[in-house]
């Protein structure tokens, strides 16, 4: 009878240990998925911000070119008017 009681307690301990082990596996699996989701999200955010910075730089270059053309055009018109 004592042997059966001890065996039952041993079975309960084994079952509890198995449940704890399964719980750890599930938890680590979720942490692993969360890590990959975070890394991929940050990668997308970084690429988007990099793309945004490139677009801003392109706009600045266009403004610089338009400004340069306007200044050159203005100088050319002044010289042409002064020669008349």
Say how many domains are in the chain.
1
Q: Which pLDDT belongs to residue 83?
A: 58
Residue 47 lies in a domain: yes
Residue 18 lies in a domain: yes
pLDDT at 2 over 50: no
**What long-range pairs does 5-13 form, CB within 8 A, spacing at least 24?**
none
Residue 21 lies in a domain: yes
Could you tell me if residue 63 is left (phi over 0), alpha (psi between -120 and 50 degrees) or otherwise beta? Answer: alpha
Residue 42 lies in a domain: yes
Q: Which pLDDT belongs to residue 82?
A: 62
Residue bearing tokens 């059966």 = 4
Boundaries of domain holding 44: 1-56
DSSP state of 84: -
Residue 75 lies in a domain: no
pLDDT tens-digit readout, 44-74:
888 888 888 888 899 999 999 999 898 888 8
| Cα 82 off chain centre by | 59
């Amino acid at each position: 009878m004592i042997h059966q009681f001890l065996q039952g307690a041993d079975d309960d301990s084994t079952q509890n240990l198995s449940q704890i082990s399964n719980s750890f596996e599930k938890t680590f699996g979720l942490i692993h998925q969360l890590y990959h989701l975070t890394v991929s999200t940050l990668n997308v955010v970084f690429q988007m911000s990099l793309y945004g910075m490139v677009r801003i730089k392109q706009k600045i270059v266009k403004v610089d070119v338009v400004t340069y053309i306007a200044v050159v055009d203005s100088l050319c018109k002044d010289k042409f008017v002064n020669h008349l």
